[in-house]
Structure 1
Amino acid sequence: MKIVFDCERMKYPYTGLFEFCHKLGLSLLANKAQMDEVQFYIHQKDVKFFPSIAKKIIKRSIDKFFFQKINPEISIWHTTYQASRYIPPRHKNLKRLLTIHDLNFLHEGKSVAKQEKYLKKHQKNIEKADHIIAISEFTKQDILKHLNVKVPISVIYNGCDMEIFPEYNQPVYLPHKSFIFTVGTVIPKKNFHTLPCLLVNNHLELIIAGKRDEDYIIKILNEAKKYHVEDRVKIIGPITKEDKYWYLKNCQAFVFPSLAEGFGIPVIEAMNFGKPVFISNLTSLPEIGGDAAYYFENFEASYMQRVFSEGIQHYKDNAPTAKILKNAAKYSWQTCAKKHLELYRKLSLI
């Protein structure tokens, strides 16, 4: 079985799609049968992220208009970005899979016109697919509700395997006090501006890591000023995997009040350290966090403060670390890769 795994979106580092393609791609290589071959459709600059022995199909800009000729022995082409413009034409031996991570644009307050535009784009790609993969049951139900799907759809959860760096002790920003931590692209849907209120009546710092949207940062800092905690809110930009390891290992709690997630890998990353995790109860997050997380059901400041303080006290009194670690253990890239390989095999035999 010859498989092409699409890594075109790895052109954007420090993003969830980069991590998805990189971690799942490596796990596919590690778990495939000896007679199978996994190739990567990828930008030239990104080939360094996979072993040199692995075959690569170098993405060309013109592929969005005139796709390059591909080996007719390829039986599986897995498109990993739901709005991709790089999908090869159908041939009789080729099965085309499409991963849909989320329909977050339906949950972000966008105009009806924009929602319809994005749905039309997704529908176009769905009609090219022989099978759909959703990364959560919530995403699957969103797809079935809002799009016309005439092919099978499977749920395969993302993985989460944290690399450890036990000797690392030089984060890009070294906090001066105990701190709460969050990570993600710093954009409005992440809802990070609701977090400064959690610093009232304590001495904690809030560290926010991730690619920065300067306009949204102004909103976060204005909220911090409203509560007179601006000196304890640190927005540090993109971080290395070593930095993320250090912050997750040493934070007092992880906070993630996102408005829309298809999965929510940062939540599981924090749970891998047994940390108390405070998340919104929106979209896929309750499915992923289960009964091992604490939930914000709204974002009114006094309510969030109460949930946070009561949750921290509950964590101290009940020591639910084992439950948190058990929930995190359900999600590994090895399991994710094996489920993908099983699906590839099934489709290649049809």
Structure 2
Amino acid sequence: MKAKKHTNVLIDCEKVKYPNTGLFSFCTQLANAIEKVKMEYTIETQYLITKKCLKYLPSYTFRIITLIDKLFFFTNKNTDVFHATFQLGKFFPRNKKIVLTIHDLNFLYEKSEEKAIKLKKKVQRNIDKAAHLVAISQFAKEDVLKHLNIANKPFDVIYNGCSFYEGPTIEQPSYLPKGDFIFSIGTVLPKKNFHVLPTLLLNNNLTLIIAGNKSSYQEVIKEEAKKYGVENRVKIIGPINESDKDWYYRNCLAFVFPSIAEGFGLPVIEALHYGKPTFISKHTSLPEIGKDYCYYFDYNFNPEKMRTEFTNGLAHFKQRNINELIDYAHSFSWENAAKQYCEIYQSLALKK
């Protein structure tokens, strides 16, 4: 059977309405990369978004989500493939070939047992509707295989890419630390585990800067800082723009990321791109992504062990070849990810 002249793909980018999040980055960066490579695959794209998303993806072909879509979601008859970009997404058309990207099953580790069971059932329903599954890490894939039934559906791992800042270098960010500092970034939620970090400020003059959307969890971090008498050197600065983020990565003494629930861990790759000593947890996908290019905190985050690991890591880093870290970071390409997705779109469109 010959392929049609074009494969028409509708891609769910509804989560772009949440800036400064991992799903925002995933959807925008993947969309940008697909637009660059799609003609190699004779693919036509349309992006499912809310009106709030227009300013982030202004030049592409869109379908704006309506109230009717939220009640009864249908696609154009010419749509060959629908890409559901989030395992708990709301939009799954009937009688269409669906690619489902699964980022993680973090709810199994974060939520109450009752809530986790409900979310697990929802992901299973979405898997049942899909024709092809994609995980963003081998860990995420193995987690799905362990907890859910994929019914022998094709299941690939496609690593996220990493886009690097290319704008002007600023002289100082919105918050300018005094002296050396360590940096972390991510939505300020319990799964990010930031409260274990203030212990690293003992017996030194370092400042800890945490950037990202705030929540009530920041009070837990502050209370932990008070235990060590370092509350004045823990700065939770909220969301930041790309130029500020570039400054913090470029100028930090080290990057720290103690998260206990990740499907991938994009900030790890960003930090390695800047050639920084990067300290991460041994939980979920992070060892897979960090490999031997990172240093690892004690699995149980024992404060004394963490301080020792941090000190020893900084000393060891002086002997490292920074170019190896940078080369590794650059191996994570959104263009490569986009090509792999386009190949899946094409193969599904050809199937009866």
Q: Take 2:166 and 2:274, find their aligned partners in 1: how far apart are those partners?
A: 11
Name the counterpart of 1:88: 93
- State the AA in 2 paired with 1:346: S
Match for residue 47 of structure 1 among 16, 32, 54: 54
Name the counterpart of 2:332: 331
Q: Take 1:228 and 1:61, find their aligned partners in 2: how far apart are those partners?
A: 52
| Count of aligned residue pairs for this structure pair | 342
Name the counterpart of 2:4: none
Name the counterpart of 2:44: 37
Name the counterpart of 2:170: 168
Whether the aligned pair in 1 keeps the contact of 2:45 and 2:61 (CA below 8 Å) is yes
Secondary structure of residue in 2 paired with 1:235: strand
- State the AA in 2 paired with 1:59: I
Report the alpha carbon displacement of residue 11 of structure 1 after superposing the two structures with TM.
1.2
1:61-97 Cα shifts (integer Å, max 9, x gaps) = 33232114x321211110111111211111xxx3111
1:133 equivalent to 2:134? Answer yes
- State the AA in 2 paired with 1:96: I
Q: What is the correspondence of 1:102-117 to structure 2 with a 5 Å cutoff?
A: 102-108=104-110, 110-117=111-118
Q: Take 1:164 and 1:307, find their aligned partners in 2: how far apart are those partners?
A: 33
- State the AA in 2 paired with 1:199: L
Secondary structure of residue in 1 paired with 2:145: helix
Whether the aligned pair in 2 keeps the contact of 1:298 and 1:304 (CA below 8 Å) is no
Secondary structure of residue in 2 paired with 1:206: strand
- State the AA in 2 paired with 1:348: A
Q: Once structures 1 and 2 are overlaid, which stretch shifts more, 30-39 or 99-108?
A: 30-39
1:195-214 Cα shifts (integer Å, max 9, x gaps) = 00001111111000000012
Secondary structure of residue in 1 paired with 2:129: coil
1:287-328 Cα shifts (integer Å, max 9, x gaps) = 000110001122111000000000000002x13312211321
Name the counterpart of 1:75: 80
Report the alpha carbon displacement of residue 111 of structure 1 after superposing the two structures with TM.
2.7
Name the counterpart of 1:277: 278
Report the alpha carbon displacement of residue 29 of structure 1 after superposing the two structures with TM.
0.3
Report the alpha carbon displacement of residue 51 of structure 1 after superposing the two structures with TM.
4.2
Secondary structure of residue in 2 paired with 1:197: helix
Report the alpha carbon displacement of residue 107 of structure 1 after superposing the two structures with TM.
2.2
Report the alpha carbon displacement of residue 165 of structure 1 after superposing the two structures with TM.
3.0
Whether the aligned pair in 1 keeps the contact of 2:202 and 2:228 (CA below 8 Å) is yes
Aligned Cα root-mean-square deviation (Å): 1.2
Q: Take 2:307 and 2:211, find their aligned partners in 1: how far apart are those partners?
A: 21
Secondary structure of residue in 2 paired with 1:201: coil
Q: Take 2:166 and 2:279, find their aligned partners in 1: how far apart are those partners?
A: 23
Whether the aligned pair in 2 keeps the contact of 1:209 and 1:239 (CA below 8 Å) is yes
Q: Take 2:56 and 2:224, find their aligned partners in 1: how far apart are those partners?
A: 39
Name the counterpart of 1:60: 66
Normalized against structure 1, the TM-score is what? 0.95
Name the counterpart of 2:199: 197
Whether the aligned pair in 1 keeps the contact of 2:43 and 2:342 (CA below 8 Å) is no
Q: What is the correspondence of 1:290-329 to structure 2 with a 5 Å cutoff?
A: 290-296=291-297, 297-316=299-318, 318-329=319-330
Q: Once structures 1 and 2 are overlaid, which stretch shifts more, 252-261 or 323-332?
A: 323-332
Q: Take 1:239 and 1:178, find their aligned partners in 2: how far apart are those partners?
A: 19
Q: Identity rate of aligned residues, in percent?
A: 51
- State the AA in 1 paired with 2:207: E
Match for residue 21 of structure 1 among 11, 27, 31: 27
Q: What is the correspondence of 1:139-288 to structure 2 with a 5 Å cutoff?
A: 139-150=140-151, 151-214=153-216, 216-288=217-289
Secondary structure of residue in 2 paired with 1:254: strand
Unaligned runs of 5+ in 2: 1-6
Secondary structure of residue in 2 paired with 1:336: helix
